[in-house]
């Protein structure tokens, strides 16, 4: 596997960061942010291609088959990161893209990760021993509210710490939850992990997938809340009146083979076992202004294997690796129209014909290609600049990722960094924040 690079490595250096020696970093030719010597930092754990990408509001993370988890952006699990307290300030502005604190790094200690989930300004990883480690804003405090007995002894939310009292975790549930004790206990958390809302525990029942007001349980979709746009998919529209089924679990009509669900606002879609996509509510192709209380099949979508929604747009991945998207182009640019343009027929994204997996958050999207290359439409690490000919929404290759062969056998040899007092180092953005010899 070969990763596209914008800078060619020219030498191994020792970088001085806040007066501390940080080993295992390589400088980019011509200066700029450093990137790790991956063989030393994560070895066999980051060999081969990544198998999962996760986008939060301020961070992007990758998981490798060998268990390594690496991130770039403002939330990387590093003591160098911005304090999560800053994310609670309404006027908070993310770090400048060129700030070296956004550079790609191995999340400290994350070498045996089986699953991961990022939302907002926080991430969690599921370890080989079925424990959960979290960092960033609100993750652990939300778990603590959800289940009595989970403590919140956080010394510093920037770095990963295990969640006490939450053990024997089976998996992350798409939509901000965890399934524990092999399916015998389920916690469904608030959408941005800040409200600490939790659904009723369902003992012995299949764990639901929760997506923007809808849940998927045993191939049936249940949507809650109002029905004034037909968004519950019950075959009728409430038309300003109180829905007679308000507060009741009633399945979306005509769909009993759902394997996925995606939603934005009052627009909802289900991926069926047949590979078809059916949608209801509003924002439904081909007429986004129509209000549909009954699901209809979206023409042009067959053999679909994944379905996700962003901010005012949807994307479906076809089994031949073609990405198809529709909706409003304002937030993502993936539809390649003017920034305010729209497409309400599934659009085959030209630079996404070889996609094996995708992840969408807000207006951001990242894909993993057949080659193992990772490409994103924004939220880049600091060494990435838009290439010549780039237009809004293009998927840009992420450079300087691990490119070790799949059969790379060696364990990492880098000595873990010692913690340091980040707050004593002065205000962020000082010219001498990181220097290179």
Q: What is the pLDDT of residues 86-101, one digit of tens each?
A: 766 544 556 677 788 8
Q: What is the pLDDT of residue 168?
A: 72
The average pLDDT across 53-64 equals 93
More confident residue, 353 or 1: 353
**In the predicted structure, residue 304 carries a pLDDT above the cut 90:** yes
pLDDT band at 15 (very low <50, low <70, confident <90, very high): very low
What would the pLDDT profile of 227-269 be if each residue is shown by its tens digit? 999 999 999 998 777 788 888 889 999 999 999 999 988 999 9
Hey, what long-range contacts does 409-415 have (CB within 8 A, 24 or more apart)?
Answer: 409/44, 410/39, 410/43, 410/44, 411/43, 411/44, 412/39, 412/40, 412/41, 412/42, 412/43, 412/45, 412/111, 413/40, 413/43, 414/23, 414/24, 414/37, 414/40, 414/41, 415/23
pLDDT band at 124 (very low <50, low <70, confident <90, very high): confident
The conformational region for residue 336 under phi > 0 = left, psi -120 to 50 = alpha, else beta, is left
**In the predicted structure, residue 38 carries a pLDDT above the cut 50:** yes
**In the predicted structure, residue 423 carries a pLDDT above the cut 50:** no
**In the predicted structure, residue 10 carries a pLDDT above the cut 90:** no
The conformational region for residue 245 under phi > 0 = left, psi -120 to 50 = alpha, else beta, is alpha
What would the pLDDT profile of 132-166 be if each residue is shown by its tens digit? 888 887 554 455 445 555 555 455 678 888 877 66
For residue 422, report the phi and psi dihedrals to the nearest 5 degrees: -65, -40
CA atoms in the 13 A half-sphere facing the CB of 85: 5
For residue 99, report the phi and psi dihedrals to the nearest 5 degrees: -65, 130
CA atoms in the 13 A half-sphere facing the CB of 53: 26
Give the range with max mean pLDDT: 90-104, 266-280, 417-431: 266-280
pLDDT band at 413 (very low <50, low <70, confident <90, very high): confident
Average pLDDT of the chain, as a whole number: 77
Record the pTM: 0.82
């Amino acid at each position: 596997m070969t990763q596209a690079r914008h800078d060619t490595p020219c030498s191994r250096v020792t970088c001085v960061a806040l007066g501390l020696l940080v080993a295992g970093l390589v400088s980019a030719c011509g200066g700029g942010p450093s990137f790790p010597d991956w063989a030393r930092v994560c070895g066999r754990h980051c060999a081969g291609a990544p198998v999962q990408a996760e986008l939060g509001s301020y961070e992007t993370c990758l998981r490798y088959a060998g268990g390594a988890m690496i991130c770039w952006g403002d939330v990387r699990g590093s003591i160098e990161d911005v304090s999560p307290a800053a994310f609670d300030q309404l006027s908070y502005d993310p770090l400048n893209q060129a700030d070296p604190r956004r550079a790609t790094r191995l999340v400290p200690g994350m070498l045996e990760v089986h699953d991961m989930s990022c939302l907002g300004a926080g991430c969690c990883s599921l370890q080989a021993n079925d424990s959960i480690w979290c960092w960033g804003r609100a993750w652990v405090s939300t778990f603590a509210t959800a289940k009595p007995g989970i403590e919140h002894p956080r010394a510093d939310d920037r770095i990963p710490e295990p969640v006490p009292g939450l053990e024997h975790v089976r998996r992350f549930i798409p939509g901000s939850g965890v399934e524990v004790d092999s399916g015998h206990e389920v916690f469904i958390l608030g959408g941005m992990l800040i409200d600490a809302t939790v659904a009723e525990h369902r003992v012995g029942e299949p764990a639901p997938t929760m997506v923007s007001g809808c849940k998927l349980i045993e191939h049936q979709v249940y949507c809650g809340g109002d029905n004034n746009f037909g968004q519950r998919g019950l075959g009728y529209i409430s038309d300003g009146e109180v829905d007679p089924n308000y507060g009741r679990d009633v399945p979306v009509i005509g769909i009993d083979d759902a394997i996925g669900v995606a939603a934005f606002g009052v627009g909802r879609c289900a991926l069926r076992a047949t590979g078809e996509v059916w949608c209801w509510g509003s924002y439904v192709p081909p007429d986004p202004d129509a209000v549909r209380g009954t699901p209809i099949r979206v023409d042009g979508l067959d053999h679909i294997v994944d379905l996700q929604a962003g901010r005012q747009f949807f994307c479906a991945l076809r089994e031949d690796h073609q990405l198809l998207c529709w909706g409003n182009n304002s937030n993502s640019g993936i539809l390649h129209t003017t920034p305010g343009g729209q497409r309400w027929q599934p659009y085959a994204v030209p630079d996404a014909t070889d996609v094996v997996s995708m992840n969408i958050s807000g207006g951001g999207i990242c894909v993993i290609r057949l080659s193992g290359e990772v490409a994103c439409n924004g939220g880049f690490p600091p060494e990435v600049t838009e290439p010549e000919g780039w237009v809004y929404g293009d998927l840009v290759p992420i450079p300087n990722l691990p490119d070790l062969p799949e059969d790379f056998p060696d364990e990492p040899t880098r000595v873990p960094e010692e913690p340091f007092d980040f707050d004593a180092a002065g205000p962020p953005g000082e010219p001498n924040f990181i220097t290179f010899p």
